[in-house]
């Protein structure tokens, strides 16, 4: 067994999850995102990694940091400790069981059944630690989908998200980030916190299960409801909305502008803001249903005016009017906007012997127990596991 120096959130003061100890057997994205969020909030997270290189995202590059670390790995592993264990070894499995005996939570995202085969399944570990909250993150559940590997791209494909992303010209498209993994990680966090709340009341631990497919179907929200309620199958509509207009991307003199005039009042403000107040009284545009029906004509009317100036001009003018809108920023411009709005989107973690590590700020604000950004993702310390 090789142990990296403790990383945790030491020195940051108690967080909301101070005292919660998590044995994190997960890797890649969904579950590590969940455990990082909880580490930010004060939980002690011990990340268990295999001896042959650790979490595979350590090798997912380029891009790399100045210290040669994968920016992918850095994105979801701050505030954690690293412990190298070979779970194929009897001795190291015994170490893992002892670790879990002193933890509140286990998180794992191996293919369904793997932890059971290793003797580290829920039944075995809750016998050692009855108050244990044991969270399993899988691709497609522990039933008939247990054998299917869980990768975000595949989940987006089979789960319907790609079918409603893109346009008729582009064909099905994946999202620009592994969104299903992130949503599943959030669901895992919610499940773990709810189970801890239950344990605080009863002393009873329990098993929490989340999977990519169920998380995606839930996150499809209105599109999923359309199908479940009516039987209709939503189709890709590019940057337009099936039920609201104008709620889409419109052309300007330079880059596109996203406009979300989602009710009659907002449409009236939009019409006035672009200097065409008469559009609000036009019978073709007087209600949302009418605007959806006459979307093509409405877009032509609006773009005839919007193309006279650039997106930043309209962002300023229409925002002043109270119209929800914004230019399509690249990621650099998005961070610049967050800075201008005072959201402090980037923190820099300083650790001895390492270059400063920039990290994206934890997204939740707390008045009494703020999130900490005190420890960079742990280095991998190679060596023989015990």
The pLDDT confidence band at residue 13, using thresholds 50, 70 and 90, is low
> How much is the mean pLDDT over the chain?
92
pLDDT value at residue 6 = 35
So what CATH class is 257-327? alpha beta
pLDDT band at 225 (very low <50, low <70, confident <90, very high): very high
Query: Strand 2-3 to strand 206-211: parallel, antiparallel, or no bridges (unpaired)?
Result: unpaired
Q: Return the percentage of the chain with pLDDT > 90, whole number.
A: 85
Angle between helices 221-230 and 212-219 (to 10 degrees): 80
Domain 2-219+344-360 sits in CATH 3.40.50.10540: yes
pLDDT at 3 over 50: no
Give tens-digit pLDDT for 92-109: 999 999 999 999 999 999
| Section 202-209 average pLDDT | 97
Q: Where are the domains of the chain?
A: 2-219+344-360, 257-327
Lowest mean pLDDT among 94-103, 165-174, 210-219, 315-324: 165-174
Element (H, E) at 271: helix 264-273
* pLDDT at 285 (0 to 100): 97
Q: What is the DSSP string of 72-114?
A: HHHTT-TTEEEEE--TTSHHHHHHHHHHHHT-SEEEE-SSTTH
The confidence score (pLDDT) of residue 291 equals: 97
Pick the catalytic residue: 181, 282, 312, 344?
181
For 183, residues 6+ apart whose C-beta sits below 8 A from its C-beta are: 215, 216, 219
Q: Is 344 a catalytic residue?
A: no
pLDDT at 354: 83
Q: What's the rounded mean pLDDT across residues 54-65? A: 92
Q: What is the pLDDT of residues 275-321, one digit of tens each?
A: 999 999 999 999 999 999 999 999 999 999 999 999 999 999 999 99
pTM, two decimals, is: 0.90
Q: Is the pLDDT of residue 177 over 80?
A: yes
Higher-pLDDT residue of 199 and 386 is 199
Residue 12 has a pLDDT of: 52
* pLDDT confidence of residue 9: 41
């Amino acid at each position: 067994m090789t142990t990296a120096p403790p990383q945790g959130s030491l020195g940051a003061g108690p967080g909301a999850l101070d005292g919660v100890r998590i044995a994190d057997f997960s890797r890649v994205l969904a579950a590590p995102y969940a455990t990082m969020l909880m580490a930010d909030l004060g939980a002690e997270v011990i990340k268990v990694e295999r001896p042959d290189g650790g979490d595979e995202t350590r090798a997912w590059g380029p891009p790399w940091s100045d210290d040669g670390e994968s920016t992918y790995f850095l994105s979801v592993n701050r505030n954690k400790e690293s412990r190298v264990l070979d779970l194929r070894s009897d001795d190291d499995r015994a170490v893992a069981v002892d670790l879990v005996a002193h933890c509140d939570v286990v998180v794992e995202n191996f293919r369904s059944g793997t932890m059971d085969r290793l003797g580290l399944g829920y039944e075995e570990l809750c016998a050692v630690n009855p108050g244990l909250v044991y969270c399993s993150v899988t691709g497609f559940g522990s039933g008939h989908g247990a054998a299917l590997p869980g990768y975000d791209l595949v989940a987006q494909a089979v789960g319907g998200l790609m079918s409603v992303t893109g346009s008729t010209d582009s064909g099905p498209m994946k999202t620009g980030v592994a969104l299903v993994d992130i949503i599943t990680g959030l669901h895992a966090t919610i499940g773990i916190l709810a189970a801890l709340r239950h344990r605080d009341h009863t002393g009873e631990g329990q098993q929490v299960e989340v999977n990519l497919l169920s998380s995606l179907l839930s996150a499809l929200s209105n599109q999923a409801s359309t199908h479940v309620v009516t039987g209709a199958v939503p189709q890709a509509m590019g940057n337009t909305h099936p039920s609201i207009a104008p709620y889409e991307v419109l052309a300007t003199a330079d880059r596109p502008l996203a406009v979300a005039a989602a009710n009659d009042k907002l449409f009236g403000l939009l019409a006035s803001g672009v200097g065409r107040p008469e559009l609000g009284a036009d019978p073709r545009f007087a209600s949302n249903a009418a605007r959806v029906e006459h979307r093509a004509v409405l877009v032509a009317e609006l773009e005839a005016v919007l193309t006279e100036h650039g997106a930043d001009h309209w962002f300023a003018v229409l925002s002043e009017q109270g119209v929800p809108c914004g230019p399509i920023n690249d990621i650099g411009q998005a961070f610049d906007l967050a800075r201008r709005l005072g959201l402090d989107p980037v923190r820099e973690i300083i650790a001895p012997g390492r270059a400063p590590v920039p990290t994206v700020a934890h997204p939740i604000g707390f008045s009494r127990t703020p999130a900490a950004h005190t420890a960079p993702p742990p280095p991998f310390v190679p060596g023989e596991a015990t």
